[in-house]
């Protein structure tokens, strides 16, 4: 019976140092394959394989699509591509982003769980937000083992803490203790795969992110239609529930956790507010210029109208500026505004 020989690891902010420490303590004869997703910018060259190879006795590399899975190797997701697992091989695919990332942790863990079931060990290290939580849930659903770095020692504790709060994690360990645990688990026999059938939703999502055309063209949807639109493509988002987890996925495959959706909406709101602030300040500047021109021509009534426009734009800009800078919101009472208008007249 196979051991726990499929090790899938996810990290984000602070991940290079954590991953280096993790692989440093893995032996050259490790009877398992290690797969790593680190959130990295799409256009940045990744030096992670060379960094990990120097620190470890294992060979780390960006795999080619379709590469054979071998024990004693570290497979690192390349920039702007998901790293997915099928039985016996890896897939490197530029599929739809999940949780605003490509590569993302959830697709790696989900496809590993689908293909290898109880043989999978999922590991979540330091990182922001909650990518990997849904993937870890998939690992547990298929009988795998879940390990998280102790959030109290993680440089960025959000990812491991989210996994702990939402998934029945098997081990919460200091970083230095994770590698020895992986070595031990790799040699221990895993449970029978047949005892943990692949849920329909897991299979469908794995095929969608793998860009399988039958899944993309199928009218079957991953959840129920929500009132929200996809931040990536503006399509309808379908709401899904994995235990206590609420997630969203659109027709073409973009996926978001609830926390990631909130972060995305906050960014969109901030962008809209900055645009509104710029428009109001330009409006106040133009109205001020028109007021001055009217005064120079002796058109007092017209100048007064433009003065009111200046005041109105400046007051609205003040409100938006305070929201953006998170200052205490101070809005002049309506009677004070009226009084100021009378004095200006």
Cβ contacts of residue 244 below 8 Å, gap of 6+?
166
In the chain, DSSP finds a helix count (H) and a strand count (E) of 11, 13
**pLDDT tens-digit readout, 96-119:** 999 999 999 999 999 999 999 999
Residues near 210 by beta carbon (within 8 Å), at least 6 away in sequence: 84, 91, 93, 95, 111
Count CB-CB contacts under 10 A for residue 224: 9
Please, what sign has the CA dihedral across residues 112, 114, 118, 124? Answer: positive
Considering the candidates 4, 12, 106, 254, report the single residue annotated as catalytic. Answer: 12
Strand residues in 193-320 grouped as ranges (E): 224-229, 236-242, 245-250, 255-257
Sequence-distant (≥ 6) Cβ neighbours of residue 47 within 8 angstroms? none
- pLDDT at res. 345: 37
CA distance 341 to 339: 5
Tell me, what's the pLDDT at 219? 60
Active-site annotation holder among 5, 106, 130, 131 = 131
Residue 252 has a pLDDT of 86
With the C-alpha atoms ordered 181, 182, 188, 190, is the resulting torsion angle positive or negative?
positive
pLDDT at 327: 59
Is the bond preceding 103 in cis, omega lying within 30 degrees of 0? yes
Distance CA 145, CA 309 (A): 64
Q: How far is CA 71 from the centre of its chain?
A: 29
The whole-angstrom separation of Cα 195 and Cα 117 is 9
List, in order, residues 6 or more apart from 324 with CB less than 8 Å away.
270, 273, 274, 277
Establish whether 130 is a catalytic residue: no
Q: How far is CA 278 from CA 260, 274, 319, 332, 345, in A?
A: 27, 6, 13, 21, 27
Question: Which residue in 4, 39, 81, 101 is the catalytic one?
Answer: 39
For the record, the structure tokens of 179 come out as 């590698």
The ranges of the chain with pLDDT < 70 are 1, 213-220, 327-345
What is the rounded CA–CA span in Å between residue 39 and residue 21? 17
Is 242 known to be catalytic? no
Known active-site residue 4: no
According to the model, what pLDDT value does residue 342 have? 46
């Amino acid at each position: 019976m196979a051991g726990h020989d499929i090790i899938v690891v996810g990290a984000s902010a602070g991940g290079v140092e954590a991953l280096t420490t993790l692989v440093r303590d893995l032996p050259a004869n490790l009877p398992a394959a290690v797969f790593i997703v680190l959130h990295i910018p799409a256009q940045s060259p990744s030096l992670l394989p060379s960094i990990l190879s120097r620190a470890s006795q294992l060979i780390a590399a960006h795999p080619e699509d379709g590469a054979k899975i071998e024990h004693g190797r570290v497979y690192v997701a390349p920039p702007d591509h998901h790293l997915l697992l099928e039985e016996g091989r890896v897939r490197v695919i530029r599929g739809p982003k999940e949780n605003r990332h490509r590569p993302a942790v959830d697709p790696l863990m989900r496809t590993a769980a689908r293909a290898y079931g109880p043989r999978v060990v999922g590991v979540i290290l330091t990182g922001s937000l909650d990518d990997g939580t849904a993937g870890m849930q998939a690992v547990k659903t298929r009988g795998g083992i879940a390990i998280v770095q102790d959030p109290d020692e993680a440089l960025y504790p959000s990812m491991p803490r989210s996994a702990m709060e939402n998934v029945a994690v098997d081990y919460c360990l200091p970083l230095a203790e994770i590698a020895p645990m992986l070595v031990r688990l790799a040699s221990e026999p895993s449970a029978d795969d047949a005892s943990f059938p692949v849920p329909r939703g897991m299979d469908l999502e794995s095929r969608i992110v793998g860009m399988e055309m039958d899944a993309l063209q199928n009218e079957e949807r991953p959840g129920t239609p929500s009132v929200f639109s996809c931040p990536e493509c503006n399509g309808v988002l379908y709401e899904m529930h994995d235990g206590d987890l609420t997630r969203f996925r659109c027709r073409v495959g973009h996926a978001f956790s609830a926390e990631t959706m909130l972060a995305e909406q906050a960014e969109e709101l901030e962008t809209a507010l900055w645009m509104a602030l710029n428009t109001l300040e330009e409006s106040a500047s133009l109205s001020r210029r028109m007021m001055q021109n009217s005064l120079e021509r002796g058109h007092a009534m017209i100048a007064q109208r433009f003065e009111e426009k200046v005041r109105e734009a400046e007051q609205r800009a003040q409100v938006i500026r305070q929201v953006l800078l998170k200052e205490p919101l101070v809005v002049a009472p309506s009677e004070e505004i009226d009084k100021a208008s009378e004095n200006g007249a």
